[in-house]
Structure 1
């Protein structure tokens, strides 16, 4: 029953996001608005601590099942993909390497910035 309640919360936020997306004068996908609404509720503390734990575990455990339709559709158009497969693989590898190095640089930069900040102890705050 708790899983159903958590799923209802997620679907409600998605539906509210879709409605807001329909009425907004600019184009933002409803799913993105729903995620921002969920983020706002989590940061505000309205949902409490770890409110979607069962749903998170359910989706993470069953994640491979969600890829089956995509893989089946790729298999049906393999002849089309075959012509550009080398280019797609090249792009995937290059972007993965770029993402790796950018992430490493950002982590290094943030670490350096955190080390330069003056650290406050409990005694200094009081």
Structure 2
């Protein structure tokens, strides 16, 4: 029963994100809104991590099942994919290196900020 309540809470927040996305005068994916909503609720203390932890862990451990429908959809258009495979490969390689660079520089920036905060506290 605990898992159903946690899933209902997570999906309820996703539904709220859908409603907010429909009301906004600009386009913003409802999944992004839902994640931001959960983040705000966690930081504010209105939502406790233990309230959704087990169901969230379960969904993360089984995330590959959530990608099956999109892959099947792509397979339906295999002739199109075969005609532009090299373009897809180039885009994927560029995005791979861009994500790697962004992640690396984020780590460097966070370490720099932590070092400055540490120096400020010891001074």
Q: TM-score, normalised by structure 2?
A: 0.82
Cα distance, 1:34 vs. partner? 2.3
> 2: CA distance between counterparts of 1:32 and 1:101?
23
Q: Tell me the residue number matched to 2:19.
A: 19
RMSD: 2.1
Aligned length: 122
How far apart are the structure 2 equivalents of 1:95 and 1:30?
A: 23
Answer with 33-42 or 23-32: which moved more.
23-32
Q: Match for residue 4 of structure 2? A: 4
Cα distance in structure 2, aligned partners of 1:65 and 1:6: 19
Structure 1 segment 34-45 matched on structure 2, within 5 A: 34-45=34-45
- Is it true that 1:53 corresponds to 2:53 in the alignment? yes
Structure 1 pair 74/29, CA: closer, same or farther in 2 (3 Å)?
closer
Question: How has the CA–CA distance of structure 1 residues 8 and 92 changed in structure 2, closer, same or farther, with 3 Å as cutoff?
Answer: same
- Structure with more helix by fraction: 2
